[in-house]
Amino acid sequence: MNSLTDIRRPPALTEEVYARLFEQLITHSIAPGTKLSVDALSRSLNVSQTPIREALARLEAQGLVVKIHLVGYRVAERIEPDRLEQIYEFRLLTEPHMAALAAERTSEPSRRELLVQCQRMKSDCTSDTPEDYARFSRLDEAFHRAIAVGSGNKVIEDALSALHVHVHLFRMSQPPTAVFDAIEEHSQIAEAIAAADPQAAAKAMRRHVLNSQRRFT
């Protein structure tokens, strides 16, 4: 597993710091509830505190870390099973409709980009290692966010912004085929949206959400 060292590519330093911290959180290398020291992270990654703070602010917006007044940052606690069930109830109520709206409203360049994102998942997530799972979870979140943006409904977009990440955090390790099954389901959703077929998009999204829930049981 990668250590929190050797960050490269200075022009994208904050993104690199964010990606490394995200991987450590999603794989539970940094356990839920752990206190995060900006100074310690800065020394571990050999970067200044500024990109650390920027990355932590982004992780806070996703609900992955919590900022406590006069204390600092702490990794969010893992959600409880009943909370996860409620998240899936909400997803089933909103995401099929969101996908249908995206099929109607998404621009042509955005339709093509969804297909490109699916290809990227297939090429970048080739094993069931924790690192690959962390990589997939970031791509998965970006894929669903792109559909939310394409729906044109900002309320849905905002409401769903952190849910997918917490689904991944609930259980990091899954059966070896789980990621590959999810990627195939993403492709079906993207193809329906690219074809401007609202009914097919809603059906594919509903199937994906239900299958995703089953993969956690």
What span, in angstroms and rounded, lies between the C-alpha atoms of 135 and 111?
22
Identify the domain boundary among 27, 51, 75: 75
Q: Do 100 and 71 have their domain in common?
A: no
Number of domains comprising the chain: 2
Helix, strand, coil abundance in the chain, percent, nearest 5: 70, 5, 25
CATH assignment of the domain containing 185: 1.20.120.530
Pairing of strands 65-68, 72-75: antiparallel
Q: Do 48 and 149 have their domain in common?
A: no
What span, in angstroms and rounded, lies between the C-alpha atoms of 182 and 190?
12
**pLDDT tens over the chain, length 217 residues:** 455 555 454 557 888 999 899 888 888 888 888 999 999 999 999 999 999 999 999 898 888 899 988 889 999 888 788 888 898 999 999 999 999 999 999 999 999 999 999 999 998 887 767 777 778 888 888 899 999 999 999 998 888 877 777 776 665 544 555 788 899 999 999 999 999 999 999 999 999 999 988 887 6
CATH assignment of the domain containing 17: 1.10.10.10
As beta bridge partners, residue 36 has: 73
Instruction: State pTM to two decimals.
Output: 0.78
97 within a domain of the structure (yes/no)? yes
Name the region of 47 (left: φ>0; alpha: ψ -120 to 50; beta: rest). Answer: beta
> Looking at residue 84, what is its pLDDT?
85
> Looking at residue 124, what is its pLDDT?
84
Q: Do 48 and 105 have their domain in common?
A: no
64 within a domain of the structure (yes/no)? yes
Identify the domain boundary among 75, 108, 125: 75
Identify the domain boundary among 41, 75, 109: 75
Domain extent at residue 21: 10-75
Q: Do 62 and 25 have their domain in common?
A: yes
86 within a domain of the structure (yes/no)? yes
Q: Do 106 and 188 have their domain in common?
A: yes
Q: Do 14 and 93 have their domain in common?
A: no
206 within a domain of the structure (yes/no)? yes
173 within a domain of the structure (yes/no)? yes
